[in-house]
Structure 1
């Protein structure tokens, strides 16, 4: 990556999706501006993921592709926390976080480059599986404590939009921000970890979406379009964590003096209602309802845990 922006590492988290990972690494190998490192966090996959990564190691310059296998499955949150940590230890000044079910467009880093001169937390856009623009830009409603979609007029005349939410399916973060707010919180396991990480970053610096397409989604899911919003299917495990992790979101808000308990309770009810809509409209099944209830119940334990502390800041941050 250009010396004006500093070394960049792509941190990929994968679990038992070796075919998709293979396609992603293929796309990384054809980028017109190459990353300095590609850190693959294998979340203890039981398929042939290790063989796929090993096969690609020799196709990149020595030391570029870093194969980091976890002893256990730590979920997306644990994987992105570890991937960010490893990337910084390897000297990255930028970490581009992504799941294994996307591919990188060849000129992605050229599209990011001008924005990297201005901002320190950046999201590009992505295409859906069928090649149509995928809409996922959102912003936390502080009263409700939930990310709500922008209107269709997202971007200003300069081609970007400020936000306080985000996604690890493409979030680009400067190391200075990581040092200030700490690593992504692995306790989330899956769900809400990326939204709250961008929210924490927004307390330190501007977080933006830019009108530049840099990724394409590759994994097909059941999906229902609600206009500017799409609802995908999700697993019972994801449903559990959507509800349980509301408590982690609330604790972070509370820690920073931004928690409105009445509004947050309403937001939690609306989150539960959205998941019911997902069950009825997208999945047409009651399977997963128990997971939602169990997640809400276990979230109450997190609220009651007075030993809970947020992720600590790292040392060595510099001023903007």
Structure 2
């Protein structure tokens, strides 16, 4: 459910009024039933709530919201305020979802936004969802992938400072992220996906003119290793033109070197269209998310757009393992 003081409950209820969601999936909310009921009253929507303990007890009918109720925040939790209780509850929601996914009792996880400051106040010192999921699944090699209708981006580094990001990039990390991107798109039905790697420096270093040889040291060996295994990877390419080329259709996915290099182009295409995906998690756990924050400034004002959450739900359905899809559900 994300941070209960943010727009997570609102966009969940708005998304679950879509008949298309129930045509494609069996959505189950892991969160707090009383907060969802409060939000339904606030929005003026008529919904029933089916509080359950096990996914198999869900009704999964449009008009009824199936909820695993963790009951961790007070009903009068203020909108738009940082709260240790809400941060802790958001973490426990993820923890519960991961345990169900690892047990193959749900097919995928779709997360509403959490607030990092609230998360830390709640005693969970993680940079964000991606790192929580990696820790809970005991995954070492993972990456953040962003998807919009005409652009997919995967990251070598995410929530670290720029200098630390550049320092932490290694040939092995470059190779591993290319490999994860290739595996993810291949499972999604792409035939020999075209993967393009951004340069670190302007003009991808321009043969040593800019930077200190970071492309040659940190990127090119990883690209060449992937190419030797038959992966269609290329680069490093100048980032200022690469994203345009990818949107045009020259490449299926771009490997960005750091957070803002990859996030900026995706968000320029529209916040409502972006989906955040964690790839490489152990046991094939699928996690998608909205590509926006908790929006405390509009929480409780019925102004939030559920478009990104709907896109994230549909992406979770597309990526979910199909070998046990008949008996599972997609977690909303």
TM-score by length of 2: 0.29
Per the normalisation by structure 1, the TM-score is 0.30
Higher strand fraction (1 or 2): 1
Q: If you compute each CA radius of gyration, which structure gives the higher value, 1 or 2? A: 2
Structure with greater contact order relative to length (CA < 8 Å, sep ≥ 6): 2
